[in-house]
Amino acid sequence: TLRGDLWAYLQEHNSWTDEAFSSIDWKAFEQANSNGAFFHHRISLVKHFHGISPMGKIANRNNPSHPAGCPSCNHPLEEEDHVILCPSAKRQHWRSSFIEGLQRFLDSAPMDSNPYLSDILHQGVLLWFRE
């Protein structure tokens, strides 16, 4: 099945043991990946999590005529953390919108998140953005 193939790929790609793999709350993952608040962003998020986002560094590697720098602030190398932490006003607005959307998503009835885990995730993302 597609699900089995994807899970096998993720387990191998991330070097997860059977124990680590079985510790993942797949129900929560499926809820998060369903047609909810982040449904339209899931491909971008998956690419970012796996280090294959079409940012300057990757685009330049794939096509040397594409600039490796950040188009928003002219930083010489746009890589994973820079995409998230870029100081440009446009990216700051994106971060604010993301945090608001994340909180709405975590508070939504279908998610039924543990409030402590939701707070940890929310605060962790805020700290990452402030890095």
0.75 surpassed by pTM: no
**Amino acid, res. 12:** E
63: left (phi over 0), alpha (psi -120 to 50) or beta: beta
Q: What angle do CA 68, 72, 77 make, to 5 degrees?
A: 25
Over the stretch 33-83, which tens digit does the pLDDT of each residue have? 666 656 666 677 777 767 777 789 888 988 999 999 999 998 999 988 888
Over the stretch 10-35, which tens digit does the pLDDT of each residue have? 888 889 898 988 888 877 777 666 66
DSSP for residue 30: H
